[in-house]
A and B are shown apart, each in its own frame.
Chain A
Amino acid sequence: MKPFTVLTGRVLPLDRAHVDTDQIIPKQFLLTTGRAGLGRGLFYAWRQDPGFVLNQPQYQGASILVAGENFGCGSSREHAPWALLDYGIRCVIAPSFGDIFYNNCCQNGLLPVRVAEPTLRPLFQAEELTVDLPGQQVRGAGAAIGFEMDPFRKQCLVEGLDDIALTLRHEAEILAYEVRP
């Protein structure tokens, strides 16, 4: 996994609540056995509208998505963070996230940041933001906003740790559990 430390990037504002993973990457793109190239399916249905943010020139090259509450609710498809990453998004800032989507982001080096309303509001207008994971701060739009992050997740993201290798260090405990009566 690619480590995540400090990211400065252009903002993609998506001021909608309850954006589900079916919208992030619709079903027709799930018929794959790989992870690559899913960016072309990102927000596929909404993208058909020329006015949609993804189609506006000022947001090209964005790496920080700012969105409404409960972002990534619904289906467990990890294709959602894969599609965001493939498109170039490395960080999503929203008031809240679907639980499984949040996990999936962390597993892929895509940083989910919780910023509550109304603190979030001005970020929709920001052109560029800096997200500092070690410092747990979002900077830009004239503000510095602290955010919470589970220390274990933070360490895994900052160091780009492979979860499985980490777990296999506990092999003796797993074995002991398996032979427990």
Chain B
Amino acid sequence: MPHPTHPPQTLFDKIWERHVVCQPPGQPSLLYVDLHLIHEVTSPQAFAGLRAAGRRLRRPDKTFATMDHDVPTDPRPFAILDQEAAAQLAALAENCREHGVRLYDLESPEQGIVHVIAPEQGLSQPGMVIVCGDSHTSTHGAVGALAFGIGTSEVEHVFATQCLWQRRPRTLRLVVEGELGAGATAKDLILHVIGRIGTAGATGHVIEYAGSTIRALSMEERMTVCNMSIEAGARAGMVAPDEVTIEYLRGRPFAPQGEALEQAAAGWRGLASDPGASFDRELRFEAGEIAPQVTWGTSPGMVAPISGAVPDPAAMADAGERQAAARALAYMDLKPGTPMREIAVDRVFIGSCTNARLEDLERAAAVVRGRRVAAGVRAMVVPGSVPVLRAAEARGLDRIFREAGFEWRQPGCSMCLGMNPDILRPGERCASTSNRNFEGRQGAGGRTHLVSPAMAAAAAVAGHFTDIREWI
């Protein structure tokens, strides 16, 4: 209930207000951080800075580490052949030991991609402020938290103070109403939104996703949506906690248990935006209009429905857009007017913090079951965490994928960013369930098309993009 003398507040307002440690005049707010997640790539310089200044890590109990970006996805145990990657992973282990930080290393049954494991372990909870030296920290907003990516200097700042200086961002309510059509998933929803508003469409804003479509999404689907908030330029994305959230958290290792959960849940329900709360901006979308999506360019906003075609830059009104599209098509080696479904793929990657949770793998397996990967296509599935891998294996998904000719690999970021042995070769074209199709993201010269897990699975079987709606 809104307090009678308080104006109605948004979910964001409520979380923000509860975390302001102090607000010196003319300065940003000093915001308290409840959960700090770290990984091997963006933390070593922060630990070094801490050490050089003779400072201690203030709250190791609120700091959790995993190994994900550099990790090879071969069967474990393995020796890491890349000397630099091995050194970076060893540095993380050493730093965590020295500062008393819990680390999910390669022997841990909880290891996985940072944005998969923290919700999975119940670490990410409604009402929290969560940060990580990684832009896809927005994922955790799905549980009703304020979660955003930070740089390494800020990681060091949180190490030393458990706080961050922040100017209050603007708020954007993104309402999606109605039922998603057959074959359209949370991934298609967020790609569609980014295609409409652009990759800088929400810069400076925190997005609250609302509306009947969002309410009907599972927690894992909400994570997919919030994950790609950063691809729309947003600081963070969030969804108000509801019964879906509470049921998701029930029984997770770090979530409150038993009576404590019921008590916490009562508070979480109160976090939802009050009726009449005002946002700086509001956008509305109809779920029924969203078709399965495929990106054609080198930015997530360069996206088309599967029934569409590669656009013609010459037909674009804006000069900057025209130039960017022409560059993108040259890099992607695509001709204007080519139907999306005629684009053939060499590789298929089902993985990443966007789409490597159990439901994602189930959707892909449902497409693959009883079929074969097309000749000449190399396809791989990389579960987001060891618990996802185990759960998938318990359901026999690994067998379905293997029998179809997919590689079933060990958890990590894998080919999402190519900081480990899983990379595209120059010129290779990949259907990928990850979040970035930037030039060279999956390997120098590699060409990435972002799609949902079901669309990736269908492309693996067909050897080219194909309309998943005709498969179901």
- Which A residues fall within an 8 A CB radius of B? 16-18, 20, 22-23, 26-28, 30-35, 45, 68-70, 73-78, 81, 96, 98-100, 103-104, 107-108, 150-152, 163-164, 167-168, 170, 173-174, 177-178
Contact = CB atoms under 8 A, between A and B. Distances in A.
A122 B217 CA distance: 48
Contacts of A31: 41, 70, 82, 84-85, 88, 419
Given A70-B199, A77-B42, 15 more contacts: A22-B417, A26-B440, A27-B419, A28-B419, A35-B45, A70-B203, A70-B233, A76-B149, A99-B203, A104-B153, A164-B53, A164-B156, A170-B22, A173-B21, A174-B163
Contact of A69 (B42, B69, B200): B200
Interface residues of B, number: 60
B160 A164 contact: yes
Interface in B212-264: 230, 233, 235
Interface in B89-142: 91, 133-135
Contacts, number: 154
B441 interface: yes
Given A70-B199, A73-B199, A74-B135, A23 B436 contact: no
Q: Which of B28, B48, B134, B135 has the most CB of A within 10 A?
A: B135
Interface in B171-226: 199-200, 203-204
Contacts of A107: 151, 153-154
Given A18-B199, A31-B419, A45 B444 contact: yes
A77 B85 CA distance: 16
Interface in B305-333: 320, 323-324, 327
Interface of B: 21-22, 26-28, 30, 32, 41-42, 44-45, 48, 53, 55, 69-70, 82, 84-85, 87-88, 91, 133-135, 149-154, 156-157, 160-163, 165, 167, 199-200, 203-204, 230, 233, 235, 299, 320, 323-324, 327, 417-419, 436, 438-441, 444
Contacts of B134: 75-76
Contacts of A22: 417, 436, 438-441
A98 B203 contact: yes
A109 to B, nearest CB: 11
B441 A103 contact: no
B436 A74 contact: yes
B32 A68 contact: no
B438 A100 contact: no
Given A74-B135, A76-B42, A167-B161, A23 B438 contact: yes
21 contacts: A18-B299, A18-B324, A20-B299, A20-B436, A22-B417, A23-B440, A27-B419, A33-B91, A34-B48, A45-B444, A69-B320, A70-B200, A73-B200, A76-B149, A96-B203, A99-B233, A103-B154, A108-B153, A163-B157, A167-B30, A174-B21
